[in-house]
Structure 1
Amino acid sequence: MVFFLPNYPSEVKWLSQDETTFSIDRIAEQRSGFMREPASRREILDTCVGFRMLTHYLAYGYRFGELTDSSIYFTKVVIVSSIVYFCTTIVVGLGYSSIQARLMTVVPLTLGYVVFLIFAWGVDHFNDRGWFITVASTISGISFVVINVLPVHQYSGRFARLIIACCGCFPNTAALTAWVICNVPSPRAMGLAAAMNNMTVGASSTVAVWIWKASEAERGYPTGNIICAVFILLPRH
């Protein structure tokens, strides 16, 4: 299948001329696909070091229907990666261990995925990412604040809030990533923009490891929870 599918509409042999023209025009109009023509030097520079795109790689958002630079993708990935580390800690506190603890981490991740699908449908149906992202981020941020103020050994309450945090955090990632697809300087530089955007994933994942300090285990990891709450609340407001 991979070798059979064409790279560009112009290479398709089983489309009529009208269908090929329509596909090419749709890509150009929606700026949603890859072009066969190579990107110009200017487009490459704008994609790599242009202020607008650099701002996006670290910060991008949406407010009142207009794009702003208030929402941070770097921070979003920090939060998503952090949940992987923090979730197991809470589950172990509930009395589960070994394979049972790992299986229990599936609960928040699965529910987060279900909300992710509903979120994606709503964003597409109403054609508005901003308010969906803002509401979901607020719910997730408040959950991290509550986790931080709850008693350390109240694992059930902390686990419940973690599930809510996942349901607010996970759905945002795809909507925020789509921003670069819609706003890349040129469709010809889309692959480069995606690579630049993904570079932040490695750096933010490293940060996610550092903020959960083993020395704070008995205190419920306040640093990690506070950073997650700040990262998801402030940039989106």
Structure 2
Amino acid sequence: MDSKHEDIHAQHVERDGSDVEANNEKSEPDLIDEPTITGHATNFVEDKERSRRLRWKVDLKFLPICGFVYLLNYLDRGNIGAARILNSETGDDILQTTNTTPNGYAVAVSLFSVAYAVFEIPSNWIMKRYVRPSLWLGFLLFGWGALTVGFTGIQTYGQIVGLRFLIGVFEAGFFPGIIYFTTFWYPVEERSLRIALVGSSASAAGAFNGAIAYGVGQLNGTAGLEGFRWLFLVEGIITLACVPIFFWFVPDYPARARWLSEDDKRYMEDRIKVHGGGYTKAHASRHEVLTTCFHPRMMAHFFAYLCDMIPLGSMTFFAPTIVNGLGYDSLQANLMTVPPWIFGYIVCLFLAWSADTRNARGFHVAASSVVGFIGWLVQAVAPADAYKLRYGMLFLCAAGAFPSANPLSAWVTCNVPSIATMFIATAINNSFAGVGSLISQWIWRESEKETG
């Protein structure tokens, strides 16, 4: 460890004898100057006004850029759902152009979910041990943006499968990385709203995708490109344009924040020691890792998130196709997905605010899930020609999927005892999300297009 690293490390690490493993194994040196706060700030007295001022400053640095980039994350993930039907009337959708069957489409989308589930833990581990958050998350942003642009040139089904898998590899680490990242800046009671403000961008992405698809669908044939190629090109370029902005604006840890005074840095670290959900340390013991993975409470978290991702995945990848089955053409179908997504976004923000204000995440998750269940149930049993009813139920489906996902994500961070295992918990939680998304892609069948 170099002297510069030792100086930074010493500023925010209090060595505690209890942190030494019983087997006296030599701990590995830190490879990045991550905050590894241990012990307890016993003399810390919170200044509410100072906390409010610093929280507002962090919010302005963190929330706008991370929220917008997560919107791009979901935009580039879900655009294949719009491309599936875009300009299908003229044979220029992605399936007909590449001779891909509906089952082949499901396989391609599934491989994204497989990559998403597998690579979340390695991604968080790399960010924890080797690369600062702003650099690693910015690298992931560049990767999936470049691959999205690469979709412009696809000609075969195999290329679709390969690119979707690689996009899953790069997108996998972003949201769990953001959740892990919030634990360095926000106490437990402030995380749910911040995670929701970032996570709700996914619902807004559905609206943007529908609107952009409607617009670029008009370009079908321009410059010899089908509408779906314009869709991938436009959204991929927007993503790549955000890479330097992300590198520049996103802070890493309080100790590295140039816009905080030394006194403010110490204050924020002490505040996290007291209100961050438990003591933290650099490395997790084997027992802590196993507890994080297999404790009944954590398993309940993971299973709940998996269940929530099943309807959410259906909305993400099949909403345009479902609306198309209501009698709208491909352009109108993409545009008509916008209102349900906007409604889901509004509900998402309200639910996050209410859950944080009342400190009752379980109730809000349950209420949102019941609303979504009603929406999907009516979709399943309503007559095929009940177009208005079935379209209206999409609003309930959207209000049930995304709004419950964000409190669930924040809730996990509140029940993990240590930042040493936080990166594992957030990654496992999102890996279960990948499994739920994988299940969703095989529940909905092409034959059900006309009946929802």
Contiguous gaps of at least 5 residues in structure 1? 59-71, 222-237
**Distance (Å, rounded) in 2 between the aligned partners of 1:13 and 1:33:** 27
Give the alignment partner of residue 102 of structure 1, picking from 317, 329, 334. Answer: 334
**Distance (Å, rounded) in 1 between the aligned partners of 2:271 and 2:324:** 51
Counterpart position of 1:182: 414
Counterpart position of 2:427: 195
CA-CA distance at 1:182 after TM superposition: 0.7
Within 5 Å, give how 1:32-43 maps onto structure 2. Answer: 37-43=282-288
Give the paired residue count: 207
Structure 1, residues 9-45: CA drift from partner, whole Å, max 9, x if none? 3455665554333212221223269956222332222
Identity %: 40
Counterpart position of 2:367: 135
**Distance (Å, rounded) in 1 between the aligned partners of 2:291 and 2:321:** 43
Seen in structure 2, the aligned counterparts of structure 1 residues 123 and 55 have a Cα distance that, compared at 3 Å, is closer
Within 5 Å, give how 1:50-61 maps onto structure 2. Answer: 50-58=295-303
Structure 1, residues 139-196: CA drift from partner, whole Å, max 9, x if none? 2212222222210121211010111221232211100111111111312211121111
Seen in structure 2, the aligned counterparts of structure 1 residues 46 and 216 have a Cα distance that, compared at 3 Å, is same
**Distance (Å, rounded) in 2 between the aligned partners of 1:3 and 1:42:** 38
Which amino acid is 2:440 matched to?
A
**Distance (Å, rounded) in 2 between the aligned partners of 1:195 and 1:115:** 26
RMSD: 2.7
**TM-score (norm. length: structure 2):** 0.42
Is 1:83 the counterpart of 2:319? The answer is no
Residues 47 and 192 of structure 1 are in contact (CA less than 8 Å); yes or no, is this contact kept in structure 2? yes
Which amino acid is 2:345 matched to?
Y
Counterpart position of 2:174: none
**Distance (Å, rounded) in 2 between the aligned partners of 1:162 and 1:26:** 42
**Distance (Å, rounded) in 1 between the aligned partners of 2:249 and 2:380:** 52
Counterpart position of 1:111: 343
CA-CA distance at 1:99 after TM superposition: 2.2
Which amino acid is 1:212 matched to?
W
Counterpart position of 2:200: none
**Distance (Å, rounded) in 2 between the aligned partners of 1:5 and 1:85:** 30
**Distance (Å, rounded) in 1 between the aligned partners of 2:249 and 2:331:** 42
CA-CA distance at 1:55 after TM superposition: 3.2
Within 5 Å, give how 1:14-25 maps onto structure 2. Answer: 15-16=260-261, 18-25=263-270
Query: SS of the residue aligned with 1:37?
Result: coil
Whose radius of gyration is greater, 1 or 2?
Answer: 2
Counterpart position of 1:212: 444
**TM-score (norm. length: structure 1):** 0.75
Query: SS of the residue aligned with 1:95?
Result: coil
Query: Larger relative contact order (C-alpha < 8 A, sep ≥ 6)?
Result: 1
Residues 90 and 155 of structure 1 are in contact (CA less than 8 Å); yes or no, is this contact kept in structure 2? no
**Distance (Å, rounded) in 1 between the aligned partners of 2:400 and 2:394:** 10
Seen in structure 2, the aligned counterparts of structure 1 residues 33 and 98 have a Cα distance that, compared at 3 Å, is farther
Give the alignment partner of residue 48 of structure 1, picking from 285, 293, 299. Answer: 293
Seen in structure 2, the aligned counterparts of structure 1 residues 4 and 217 have a Cα distance that, compared at 3 Å, is closer
Seen in structure 2, the aligned counterparts of structure 1 residues 43 and 2 have a Cα distance that, compared at 3 Å, is farther
**Distance (Å, rounded) in 2 between the aligned partners of 1:210 and 1:6:** 40
CA-CA distance at 1:137 after TM superposition: 1.8
CA-CA distance at 1:126 after TM superposition: 1.8
**Distance (Å, rounded) in 1 between the aligned partners of 2:336 and 2:434:** 26
Seen in structure 2, the aligned counterparts of structure 1 residues 213 and 13 have a Cα distance that, compared at 3 Å, is closer
Is 1:159 the counterpart of 2:404? The answer is no
**Distance (Å, rounded) in 2 between the aligned partners of 1:34 and 1:101:** 51
Residues 8 and 34 of structure 1 are in contact (CA less than 8 Å); yes or no, is this contact kept in structure 2? no
**Distance (Å, rounded) in 2 between the aligned partners of 1:126 and 1:46:** 28
Seen in structure 2, the aligned counterparts of structure 1 residues 38 and 98 have a Cα distance that, compared at 3 Å, is same
Seen in structure 2, the aligned counterparts of structure 1 residues 150 and 4 have a Cα distance that, compared at 3 Å, is closer
**Distance (Å, rounded) in 1 between the aligned partners of 2:394 and 2:380:** 11
Seen in structure 2, the aligned counterparts of structure 1 residues 3 and 76 have a Cα distance that, compared at 3 Å, is same
**Distance (Å, rounded) in 2 between the aligned partners of 1:190 and 1:95:** 47
Structure 1, residues 69-105: CA drift from partner, whole Å, max 9, x if none? xxx1101001101123442233213332222211211
